[in-house]
A and B are shown apart, each in its own frame.
Chain A
Amino acid sequence: MKTKNLPPELKLGAVIVLLMVVLTLVSPRFLSVSNLTNVIWSVCLIGILGAGSIYARITGGIDLSLGSMAALTGIIADLFMNKYGMNWLVAIGLTVIIGGLIGLFNGFVVAKIKVPAFVVTMAAKTYLYGVALVVSSGAMLAILKPKPFIAIGTGRLLGLPNPIYIMVVLVLTSQFLLKRTSFGRRVMAVGANETAAKLSGVNPDNIRMAAYTISGMTSAVGGVVLASLTQQVFAAAASGIELEVMTALVIGGTSPVGGKGSVIGGLLGAIMVAFIINGLNLLNVPAQFHPIVTGVVIILALLLNEGNLRIGKFGSGSLGKKSAAA
């Protein structure tokens, strides 16, 4: 009975440690500080976006506009600072607010108008991309100033790149929000059984709107970090990152049908995928195989997860109608 109650995060951590052992045996370069730092670095954006979009997942929805949002907000931040000469802190603050507003709109359409989440956010992904194109005039803009802004992405603290700290702070905050606050309890309740949650005084519509607003805000943060890190912004930045975020969350134990989730698990999931890709790189496997491996990993994770979700399905008919929305 003891092992059954081990939190899934620990189990995942064990798998990761195992993976690290294997990779060290496979290639001596693996365990070097520079390599490990690179891996964690690549996980930063996914960690940030995962920390914010997990609420939408838990309530049974999804946010597919993460990448476009990140790209657009990067462009907007650059514009605020370098075209309108705003103070970089103010610019970032405004950008995050804009991200939140867009997220709120998504949440409104999902919660109040009851349009399936994937349609709303997929459409958002498209038109936000278009807006990004228009605002950036289709160009790739280099960001060379202001210095403090650049420092966000490129600076280091105690030898580690700043983005890692930002990600860790966000992940821990989100984990706290999810596991230790009344809001988090309500989110989980809506995901587990919306009707029972409603009868217990939870407002699922408000919860959903909040979830997508949070997702929008963290996408904006991610966009700022990405812009600062790469020192450039363009409309197609972070394109396709949604799948990587979803993979990380699924591996980390967030259920595709809602009701279960862990931010730290998601981070561990991202790390695991990053290690796998890193291993492939160290083994000189050509880049084309990477998305193939990622795809296989997510399918495996789904197969394993679905096997553990029996409790949630009280013989309630076919999943056919739910698959489109999941």
Chain B
Amino acid sequence: MSSHALRRIILVGLMIVIALILTAINPVFLTVGNLNKMFQEAAQIGIVAIGFTLVMITAGIDMSIGGIIALTAMVAVNFISFTKIPVILFVPVTLLVGALAGYFNGLFITRYKLPAFIVTLATKGILAGLALVVAVKDTQGFVQNVYIQDAVYLWFGGASFGGVFRTTIAFLLLGAGTQYFLKNTKTGTNIYASGANPVAANLTGINVDRTTLGVYVFAGMCASVAAIFISSRMMTAMPELGLGTEMDVIASVVIGGTSFSGGSGDIWGTMLGSVFLALIKNGILKLGMSPWIQPIVIGGIIVVTVIIDVWQKKIAESIATRAKLRRLDAAACEDAA
């Protein structure tokens, strides 16, 4: 627990320092408008990252979230543009897209025991292809850019009091809810146990496969939710929407302290990570630096963070082993005496 807390403190501290430096160089940074935008960017990635966190806690990975976002956006846009079904229903339909995609991911991984990484890469391709299939096209078959005009749809991407975007609010609510769920329900405990020690979890009666499957479904649904907010804010949707967000999502989760080996991490960390990432991105723009720096910074941060994490774990382990060996040694001396 204490290492987690330390990490959070360092993260927040870093963010404050960076924010101060940015404001000093470019005062535009600290305006309400910019901050709202920044948090909205964080929220867009963050919503996806929340679901992704649960997947990582079970020691899994889901590379298809970009595809889920794309497909959901296309389905939603089609739905709005071409059906007469009441718009209220479009929310459950979109969630269904993510849930189904997540279900298939989870099925291949838990039932057929296929390696999560490759499988989700494959489903990403399938989903991206489906997104193109579903995309609205003109008479010659070329994909058309659809401008969203439906009021209900647009509502999601808008702002409410104080200019705070609804995306941000959804992010905070979802985050808090998921965190509470993780820490206070049996299913939440099951998720941690399934990732930390699946054999022991199974013995205790936890259905590890079912828990894992559920986690992928949830991750899929989170991606769908994000798709709605993203396309709503942009007021348009292209079939490439979301493809490429994996790195941002992974970066957020990794910065937040969730480990790839499972069994640890939480939503607060991921949320902090998403904000940190958005801060960096925003900062790069505000400093007038080339946007091309962005992937370098993100990729670099991921590598550095993971290296530090692994090092830290190794040091902790070697301290524990040394202590254990010293105790055993002392015990042996006791006996020989």
Residues of A at the B interface (CB closer than 8 Å) are 62, 109, 113-116, 118-120, 122-131, 133-134, 138, 235, 243, 246-247, 250, 256-257, 286-292, 294-296, 298-299, 302-303, 306, 317-326
Contacts and interface: CB of A to CB of B under 8 A. Distances in A.
Interface string B113-143: 1111111011111101110110100000100
Contacts, number: 172
A299 B116 contact: no
Contacts of A120: 303, 306
Nearest to A303: B112
Of A122, A298, A324, chain B has the most CB atoms within 10 Å of the CB of A324
B303 A256 contact: no
B114 A302 contact: yes
Contacts of A298: 118, 122
Top 9 A-B pairs, shortest CB-CB distance: A127-B299, A130-B295, A126-B299, A130-B296, A288-B132, A133-B292, A326-B115, A295-B126, A292-B129
B293 to A, nearest CB: 6
A198 B125 CA distance: 38
Contacts of A62: 117
A288 B310 contact: no
Given A119-B260, A130-B297, A295-B129, A324 B116 contact: yes
A243 B117 contact: no
B126 A124 contact: no
13 contacts: A113-B311, A119-B306, A123-B302, A133-B292, A246-B118, A288-B133, A290-B129, A292-B133, A294-B122, A299-B114, A299-B119, A318-B199, A323-B59
Contacts of A126: 247, 295-296, 298-299, 302
Contacts of B293: 130, 134
Given A127-B298, A130-B299, A131-B296, A322 B115 contact: yes
Given A119-B302, A296-B126, A324 B59 contact: yes
Nearest to A322: B115
B261 A256 contact: no
Interface of B: 56, 58-61, 108-109, 112-119, 121-126, 128-130, 132-133, 135, 141, 194-195, 198-199, 208, 212, 246-247, 250, 254, 260-262, 290, 292-300, 302-303, 306-307, 310-311, 314
Contacts of B112: 303, 306
Say what secondary structure dominates the interface of chain B: helix
A223 to B, nearest CB: 18
B129 A319 contact: no
Contacts of B292: 130, 133-134, 138, 235
Nearest to B132: A288
- Tell me which of B125, B199, B261 has the highest count of chain A C-beta atoms within 10 A of its own C-beta: B125
- If over half of A's interface residues share one DSSP class (helix, strand or loop), that class is named, otherwise mixed; here it is helix
Contacts of A109: 303, 307
Contacts of B262: 320-321, 324
Nearest to A65: B299
Contacts of A324: 56, 59-61, 116-117, 260-262
B299 to A, nearest CB: 3
Nearest to A247: B122
A243 B60 contact: no
A127 B115 contact: no
A279 B304 CA distance: 45
Given A130-B292, A133-B295, A319-B113, A243 B250 contact: no
Nearest to B115: A326
Given A122-B246, A326-B117, 14 more contacts: A113-B307, A115-B303, A119-B306, A126-B247, A127-B299, A131-B296, A246-B121, A286-B133, A292-B126, A292-B130, A302-B114, A302-B118, A302-B122, A323-B117
A294 B295 contact: no
Contact of B114 (A131, A133, A303): A303
Among B108, B114, B195, B297, the one with the most A-chain Cβ atoms within 10 Å of its Cβ is: B114
Contacts of A321: 59, 198, 261-262
B114 A125 contact: no
A118 B117 contact: yes
Given A289-B129, A295-B122, A113 B117 contact: no
Nearest to A127: B299
A109 B121 CA distance: 23
Contacts of B250: 119, 122
A323 B129 contact: no
A298 B109 CA distance: 14
Contacts of B303: 109, 115, 119-120, 123-124, 127
Contacts of A287: 132
B112 to A, nearest CB: 6
A317 B201 CA distance: 12
A256 to B, nearest CB: 5
A28 B56 CA distance: 50
A291 B129 contact: yes
A108 B314 CA distance: 16
A303 B135 CA distance: 30
A120 B302 CA distance: 8
Contacts of B128: 291
A51 to B, nearest CB: 19
